[in-house]
Structure 1
Amino acid sequence: MISKLLIANRGEIACRIIRTARELGVATVAVYSDADAKALHVRMADEAVHIGPSPAAESYLVGDRIIAAAKQTGSEAIHPGYGFLSENAAFAQAVIDAGLVWVGPKPASISAMGLKDAAKKLMREAGVPVTPGYEGEDQSAQRLSAEADKIGYPVLIKAVAGGGGKGMRKVDAPGNFAAALESCRREAKASFSNDEVLLEKWITSPRHIEVQVFGDSHGNVVHLFERDCTMQRRHQKVIEEAPAPGMDADTREAICAAAVRAAKAVDYEGAGTIEFIADASDGLRADRIFFMEMNTRLQVEHPVTEEITGVDLVEWQLRVASGEPVPLEQHQLSINGWAVEARLYAEDPSNGFLPSIGPLTEFNPEDVRVRLDTGVEEGDAITPFYDPMIAKMIAFAEDREDAIELLRDSLMGTSVWPVKTNGAFLVKLLADEDFVAADMDTGLIERKGEALMPASLPSDEVLRGAARKLMEEGPLPAPAIPGFRLNAAPRLMARLEVNGAEIDVDYTADAESWFMGMSEGRDRVMVTQDGQTFGIRHARAGGSGHHSAADGAILAPMPGKVIALDVAEGDSVTEGQRLMVLEAMKMEHALTAPFDGIVRDLAASVGGQVEVETMLARIEAGEE
């Protein structure tokens, strides 16, 4: 067994690997950037080495520094986690060339599956069914458009080096193809330094099914059954579960056998995932499930597989990397129970799910009955440099219904402040009747739209309880709003500020109002309801003075870089017209005109870095 391991990653996955390594008696070394100097994975590891500035391109993506850190600390092996350099064949080879153990597949296997077009050709040869499409070398816009016409709309444009939903665009009609191709290529170039694409037929009722595979250096390959990752938003997984609902024994056997063939075709070692797209218009059927791609690493959603199989996949990784065979044979593996995972992110559903940056003054997962995989603790911060995931919450039960209920209950009581989260969104999704009935496809979240959006305010009962609590805490900063009724007791009124919005609350009734929360100092009450945390305090005199779309101010919703500017000072624009594109966390965000008017006070320029809430322009309403 490896005796000392360097983890070339950060956050939740680094902490996850450290826990298993500690159980096996393996010493761990963390690496960290400036932003992560006090991060949880640094505090947990036996040793830690600084590798550079906060941007990942100057730290976690600099392979030479990571290898040097391993040499410096006497580490025997490097575990890449997921993301960053985990699927970089050149880095894997550099690790091996440095005389270190690479905890992952052979570089040749990574290369074989790293480009989606080449991988699809290889899978065809291995007898694995693939989605109809185009993976040709001719990347001209004219050829791609012509091939899209042959395939038939809608089609999906995918970056050949893509992953995580980046570099993907659905196109519904020929007239939209050119613009979608340009945007897809630009995002792919920024994310993967490769703007080549492939085309696939868009499956109209798609389910996302993936199979966990594991190989070793002795020629063994097993599968650990399937996961369902159908619940997605903009191609990003939101809820994952295992096993897949509606999967019968024959279909499971067919898809898992195809996954093993795929892994054997590239002489696979270690943990990997074969991803399939299923046409679920007539249920899950073996003849309607197609290969999409292989992830040559551990997946974010691996805990649901661990929960139903009783296997520690990180332990398996370390054992196989040490030269041992896969610990269990196929006949020794079975499915027991049901597991559902939700990704709790620091993001604002009311603002297009943009990341919410700031301190985690409060992070209190209430229900310890679920597994919590996290890389942060209360008092840490969500920075603009990395993925804003706070935690993965994994519920396990005997059946799907109980697992969903347990996860939902856990999310409902998890308080996070002051950053915003998708917790209330997840609570609503887990209660959605179509999801509960497993009548779902990858478009379910988009179709539900506003029905899944969290409430902007807590319930009236909570507001009344908060008002009474605040009155008990101390004097008002301004007089309460008077209330008067003839021949009746005076009404008790208060003006409160709830997450920045002002509201008048009548708390005359319900002297014993239900109240759940805590005070922050003497002037604020914290309340968590249905997965959303509200900060409630007395409204301050004078207002906030913030700009908003109502006055035409175009504010940066988060830190980022302006990558496209479509207007100039003095231009006339119409409501909804794109003004500029902001790139943040390798995703593009279009900023549009809130109403018809004239562009004034234009402060944005292509390539310019902006901070959150920077005013980039102002739209002056035109005269009628």
Structure 2
Amino acid sequence: MFTKILIANRGEIACRVAATARRMGIRTVAVYSEADAGAKHVAVCDEAVCIGPAAAKESYLRAEKLIEVALATGAQAIHPGYGFLSENAEFAKACAEKGLVFIGPPASAIDAMGSKSAAKALMEKAGVPLVPGYHGDQQDTAFLNAQADAIGYPVLLKASAGGGGKGMRVVEKSADFADALASCKREAINSFGDDKVLVEKYLQRPRHIEIQVFADTHGNCVYLFERDCSVQRRHQKVIEEAPAPGMTAERRQAMGEAAVAAARAVGYVGAGTVEFIANQEGSFYFMEMNTRLQVEHPVTEMITGTDLVEWQLRVAAGEQLPAQQAALQINGHAIEARIYAENPEKGFLPSIGTLKYLRTPEAVEFSLGQGNEPAAFRIDSGVREGDTISPFYDPMIAKMIVWGKDRTEALARMRQALAQYRIVGLHTNIAFLSRLMHSAPFTQADLDTGLIERHHDSLFPAAVPPTAAVLALAVAGLLQNEQQAGSDPWQSSHGWRMNLPLIRTLNFSEEEQQIAVSLQYGAGGAHQLQAGDTKCAMQIRQAQAGQIQLSLDAHTISGEVIWDGEKVHVFTGGQHTELHYHDPLAHAGDAEAEGGRLTAPMPGKIVAVMTEKGRAVKKGEPLLIMEAMKMEHTISAPHDGEIAEILYAVGDQVSEGAQLLAFAQTH
């Protein structure tokens, strides 16, 4: 077994590998970019070495530097995690040439599965079912358009060297093909350095089911059952669960054996995932093989009682698989939710900022639990309170994994966990995940890759005014803040007056909605609260460190109130409401920024300008395309108007909030 390994990654996977290695008595070396100097994975490893600037191509993607650090620190092996160089055959070869063990499959297997088109040709020979499509080398636009016409619409364009949902486009009709292909190729070349694409029939209401496989150097290969990853947004997974709901024993065996056949066809070694697209009636087709550990591997660990990272280390060290197929069994049900710094209400745009406040459910970290029953709650995370989510890397904050004796119990635990997850400082998808967990289609396991889009209206309901309970907690939080200000009589929250009672008007806002709350002070803290037509008696029972309990008429309300500057975050009843408090003495004369401008929703690069100065445009017309975090985002006209000025050109880097162009509205 190894005595020291280098972890060539960052975030939660680096922390996870370090935790398993420590348990096995293996020392770890972390690498980090200048942006990650204070990162959690740096702190949890035994040694750490800076490898370059923030940009991944100047740090985490520098294969020669990683190998240099491994040799200098005496590491015997390199664990690539997932992402970055984990599926890079040249990196695996370079490790071998320097006498380092690459903790992953042989370079030949990565090469074989690295091209989606070549892999499908190989799978066809191995008898693995394939989706109808074109997987060849001819990339002429007219030729590919003709192939799509022959296959029949809708079709799916996919970057041949892609992964993670990048470089994918659904095309509904022939007239849209050329533009979609150009966009797909741009994203593919920027993400993978290869703009080759393949064209496949786009299945209606398909499920995304993947099989975890594992092979050693002694000829053993097993499958550790399936994961359902159907719930996706922008072709990227949101929720994963194991086992797949509704899976029959016969189909599980058929898919498992097909996955093993795929692994054996390329001489696979280590952890891998064979991904299938499945129809509702049960037929399934090979999509691709990910030659690495997957982000969603914890749900497999929870239902099988295995540590897949430990398996990786043992197999890489030349040992046989810790278990054979007959010994593997499914125990219970596990669900994983990816907690992301992103804004679902704005097309899931990544959110950049600092984790100013972070509280999670009571959960184990990188643990499978004890005995036959796994831990009910598990969190895999690579960040801590105070850390920054930067524009340089994937904006995942954590993976929340729950286990239950069955899907019903696991689902209840996930709802509970999300209600206890509290983050202040940036946008997250927690509220969206909670709505998803409570939605009828997910509850009833009516799953397919279009679930979120099809149920958009219920998953993204219209905003409703804050409840009286939320406003009362916000007011109580304000009074608590004023009380803590000290002995300054002007900050006193007692509200004592010699004659008439004190009545204050407290102004809040939520998004565009202005909210005025009237607070009438009463003796002994028995206040009266009015918001709109709602009047109620409010008595603060307890208020300490943001934890507040109060009575509102005959009801007892509990919650947590966190202040971030002039923003007040209220957590109660499993809901998070963000309000802005308007201090009457602060920002006097402030006004909103002038109209007639379109700004960057996040830091990124301009990759296409689709209009020109003086041009008249219609509402919704695409104006330019930004690339951020290797994903393209189209900036469209908010209304009819005329382009007064274009302020950036293709290739320019822009910061969040930067004005992109001047826009004159036409009436």
Normalised by the shorter chain, which TM-score bucket?
over 0.9
> In the alignment, which residue of structure 1 is the partner of 2:526?
none
Name the amino acid aligned to 2:418: L
Q: Secondary structure at the match of 1:49?
A: strand
Q: Is residue 570 from structure 1 mapped to residue 614 from structure 2 by the alignment? A: yes
Name the amino acid aligned to 2:402: A
CA contact (8 A) 2:477 2:561 kept: no
CA displacement at 1:574 relative to structure 2: 1.2
CA distance in 2, matches of 1:351, 1:544: 26
> In the alignment, which residue of structure 2 is the partner of 1:463?
471
CA distance in 2, matches of 1:71, 1:521: 46
> In the alignment, which residue of structure 2 is the partner of 1:290?
285
CA distance in 1, matches of 2:113, 2:537: 63
CA distance in 2, matches of 1:14, 1:100: 18
Q: Secondary structure at the match of 1:268?
A: coil
Identity across aligned pairs (percent)? 52
CA displacement at 1:621 relative to structure 2: 1.4
CA contact (8 A) 2:343 2:349 kept: yes
> In the alignment, which residue of structure 2 is the partner of 1:619?
663
CA distance in 2, matches of 1:462, 1:74: 56
Name the amino acid aligned to 2:46: D
Distance 1:510 1:265, change over 3 A: farther
CA displacement at 1:533 relative to structure 2: 5.5
CA distance in 2, matches of 1:249, 1:166: 33
Q: Secondary structure at the match of 2:81?
A: coil
CA displacement at 1:519 relative to structure 2: 4.3
Q: Is residue 583 from structure 1 mapped to residue 595 from structure 2 by the alignment? A: no
More moved, 372-381 vs 406-415 = 406-415
Distance 1:451 1:618, change over 3 A: farther
CA contact (8 A) 1:474 1:523 kept: no
- Unpaired runs of 5+ in structure 2? 364-375, 492-499, 519-528, 531-535, 539-550
> In the alignment, which residue of structure 2 is the partner of 1:375?
382
CA contact (8 A) 2:508 2:579 kept: no
Q: Which whole-Å deviations, capped at 9, do the CAs of 1:504-529 have from their partners, x for residues lacking one?
A: 23533140242411444896643224
CA distance in 2, matches of 1:219, 1:440: 36
CA displacement at 1:74 relative to structure 2: 0.5
Q: Is residue 310 from structure 1 mapped to residue 317 from structure 2 by the alignment? A: no
Which of 315, 334, 342 in structure 2 is aligned with 1:339? 334
> In the alignment, which residue of structure 1 is the partner of 2:429?
422
CA contact (8 A) 1:161 1:194 kept: yes
Q: Secondary structure at the match of 2:361?
A: coil
Correspondence 1:194-593 to 2 at 5 A: 194-280=194-280, 282=281, 285=282, 288-368=283-363, 369-453=376-460, 455=463, 458-474=466-482, 493-498=505-510, 502-506=514-518, 507-508=529-530, 509-511=536-538, 512-513=551-552, 514-520=557-563, 525-529=568-572, 530=574, 532=576, 534=578, 536-539=580-583, 540-542=586-588, 545-547=591-593, 551-593=595-637
> In the alignment, which residue of structure 1 is the partner of 2:125?
125
CA distance in 1, matches of 2:151, 2:564: 62
CA contact (8 A) 1:415 1:533 kept: no
Q: Secondary structure at the match of 1:561?
A: strand
Correspondence 1:52-67 to 2 at 5 A: 52-67=52-67
- Unpaired runs of 5+ in structure 1? 480-487
TM-score of the superposed pair, with normalisation by structure 2: 0.88
Q: Which whole-Å deviations, capped at 9, do the CAs of 1:251-308 have from their partners, x for residues lacking one?
A: 111111100111111111000000000011x3xx2xx100000000000000000000
CA distance in 1, matches of 2:322, 2:343: 43
Distance 1:522 1:173, change over 3 A: closer
Name the amino acid aligned to 1:270: G
CA distance in 1, matches of 2:471, 2:29: 48
CA displacement at 1:552 relative to structure 2: 3.0
CA displacement at 1:491 relative to structure 2: 7.0
CA contact (8 A) 1:356 1:420 kept: yes
State the structure with more CA Rg.
2
CA distance in 1, matches of 2:343, 2:476: 29
CA contact (8 A) 1:564 1:581 kept: yes
> In the alignment, which residue of structure 2 is the partner of 1:482?
none
Q: Secondary structure at the match of 1:327?
A: coil
Q: Is residue 139 from structure 1 mapped to residue 139 from structure 2 by the alignment? A: yes
CA displacement at 1:608 relative to structure 2: 0.8
CA contact (8 A) 1:416 1:533 kept: no
Distance 1:217 1:531, change over 3 A: farther
CA distance in 2, matches of 1:433, 1:363: 30
Distance 1:269 1:594, change over 3 A: same
CA contact (8 A) 2:473 2:570 kept: no
Name the amino acid aligned to 2:308: L
Distance 1:326 1:345, change over 3 A: same
TM-score of the superposed pair, with normalisation by structure 1: 0.94
CA displacement at 1:349 relative to structure 2: 1.6
CA displacement at 1:471 relative to structure 2: 3.3
Q: Secondary structure at the match of 1:328?
A: coil
Q: Which whole-Å deviations, capped at 9, do the CAs of 1:224-245 have from their partners, x for residues lacking one?
A: 0000000000100000000000
Aligned residues: 608
What's the C-alpha RMSD, in Å, of the aligned pairs? 2.2
Distance 1:126 1:521, change over 3 A: closer
Correspondence 1:68-217 to 2 at 5 A: 68-217=68-217
More moved, 154-163 vs 446-455 = 446-455
CA distance in 1, matches of 2:337, 2:50: 31
CA displacement at 1:619 relative to structure 2: 1.5
CA contact (8 A) 1:498 1:537 kept: no
Q: Which whole-Å deviations, capped at 9, do the CAs of 1:590-611 have from their partners, x for residues lacking one?
A: 1011111121243121111110
Q: Secondary structure at the match of 2:64?
A: helix
